[in-house]
Structure 1
């Protein structure tokens, strides 16, 4: 049985993108990126909303010649994992090991978790909000970036309560703080 994990790099005030849609302020340095890579190794399947999939899909075709080791490492982690994209508009996947689902069905995700040999990850704030509301997310991983952006796309939905317990935390030299919570 796999866990469903929601992970993201956020501003201190809880946004994954600012009001203009910019995410450059959250770009991880090599230390944070290597830590993210290590967390991602346990994943067998990514569940994505269409927009997050489109952002992440460039890892499939990224020219790794001369790329930093952390980028090459993440690209390998990304490429070997299965991907499920929830989209009513995407015609076909642009990456390998990817299938399109037209609607998010909590029961189907529960069955995926129950039959999984490895953990699953949910990516994209709107899709994650649906999974959180359905009680599917087992673990929350948040990288708090030392910036306040004042608005934008929230990491967590406003209309749900989930009681959590702290499982781990880590401080990075660039001021980023990682927190990992599980269900209480």
Structure 2
């Protein structure tokens, strides 16, 4: 069975995006960007909701060709293009860059993918991840907390139907007061 990881940058008050999808609070240090690159390189399949897909696909297909791109950004763009992706959306019409589109039941498809062979998968996008969390499919959480309070926006966690017990497996501090807390789901 494949491992499913949910990890994103989040504000101290629990949002992955401020009002208006503003991500201005989340600029990573070089050290944090390198950490995210290493995490992404260990993933065999990315699972995206529409919003995160649109954000990622608007930049990373050519991120390695942008003026001033760092070596880590160049590698991130290449890894992003090369890694298989699944986008879950009923409104996206077309996907590119090693990606397939699923318009049906996201939980059923994630369950099917999780039961198959292969390496770890990462679910991204708070709405899609929320459905996976409620279905009990997420094995690990990588919560990278930035020292910012934005007062509202898109929450990291959506409402749950029941408690999820977790075990802390790693903590780390990055420049600028950013912290990582990585948890495994207690089964």
TM-score (norm 1): 0.94
Say whether residues 1:90 and 2:92 are aligned partners: yes
CA distance in structure 1 between the aligned counterparts of 2:174 and 2:70, rounded to whole angstroms: 19
> How does 1:20-99 map onto structure 2 within 5 Å?
20-57=20-57, 58-62=59-63, 63-64=65-66, 66-93=68-95, 95-99=96-100
RMSD: 1.3
CA distance in structure 1 between the aligned counterparts of 2:104 and 2:112, rounded to whole angstroms: 15
> How does 1:157-172 map onto structure 2 within 5 Å?
157-160=158-161, 161-172=163-174
Aligned partners of 2:3 and 2:114 also within 8 Å: yes
Greater share of residues in helix:
2
Residue of structure 2 equivalent to 1:117: 118
CA distance in structure 1 between the aligned counterparts of 2:180 and 2:169, rounded to whole angstroms: 11
Mind listing any 5+ residue stretches in structure 1 that lack a counterpart?
Answer: none
Aligned partners of 2:46 and 2:122 also within 8 Å: yes
SS in 2 for 1:40: helix
CA distance in structure 1 between the aligned counterparts of 2:82 and 2:67, rounded to whole angstroms: 19
Deviations 1:45-70 (A, max 9, x none): 11111111010012012324541112
SS in 1 for 2:20: coil
SS in 2 for 1:170: strand
Which aligned segments of 4 or more residues in structure 1 are displaced greater than 3 angstroms? none
Residue of structure 2 equivalent to 1:141: 142
Aligned partners of 2:16 and 2:154 also within 8 Å: yes
**Offset, 1:40:** 1.2
**Offset, 1:173:** 2.2
Q: How many residues align?
A: 183
TM-score (norm 2): 0.92
